[in-house]
Structure 1
Amino acid sequence: MFEIDTERMDSDTDDQIVHRGLDTDVEEPAVRISEHVGDLEDRDPTSLATMHDCVDGVLDHIFSTPPSPEAQIEITFSYEGYRITVEQNGHARFVDLD
């Protein structure tokens, strides 16, 4: 597993963008996304909305049975005030929408 934790301000939009690495071998990547959002918001992840309402089982699928690397699959969705993009290699980008 790799963990990346960098923050930067996008000068054009003043959005806070945080990059994190996700372990593509975990069984429930949606839980990791919730943990990262909880960390960013200084909230207990169990107090957040369930990820199932946002992305169903899609995240589990791209990590458990990934397409070929050439497909360069990424999933983008909104969750708890963030626009989140997850790539099939485990890179995740969190854009604060507030």
Structure 2
Amino acid sequence: MTETHDDEIVHRKLNTDREDPAVAIAEVIADLEGTQTDELTPTYDCIDGMISALYSNPPSPEAQMTVEFTYSGYRITVEQSGTAEFVQVT
């Protein structure tokens, strides 16, 4: 039986120095769903470099840049600090 996370916000801290930080998004989803990352839609098909750009060329800290998107049944909010929130939407 798959663990559900309805109405639950899962907080994670992502490594902003990672070469491909979008893979960390897939790893968190795989962990939450109890599956392997290769069973998910590849992140490059969905978020195509947004997370990498957020970390590699971030705006000033005062801007508090946030990226929000849906991937693999979760609404995900990622801040330029690496803080991320995952909320299951399906």
TM over 0.5: yes
One-letter code of the match for 2:78? V
Match of residue 43 from structure 1: 35
- Give % identity: 52
Match of residue 78 from structure 2: 86
Q: Which has the higher strand share?
A: 1
Which of 48, 58, 66 lines up with 1:56 in the alignment? 48
Comparing both chains, which one has the higher relative contact order based on Cα–Cα distances under 8 Å and sequence gaps of 6 or more?
2
Q: Which contiguous aligned blocks of 4+ residues in structure 1 show a shift greater than 3 angstroms?
A: none
Q: TM-score, normalised by structure 1?
A: 0.83
SS at match of 2:51: helix
1:26-62 deviation digits (Å, cap 9, x = unpaired)? 1111101100000000000111001122211111011
Deviation, 1:84, is 0.3
Task: Give 5+ residue unaligned stretches, structure 1.
Answer: 1-8
Q: TM-score, normalised by structure 2?
A: 0.90
Deviation, 1:66, is 1.2
One-letter code of the match for 1:25? D
Task: Give 5+ residue unaligned stretches, structure 2.
Answer: none
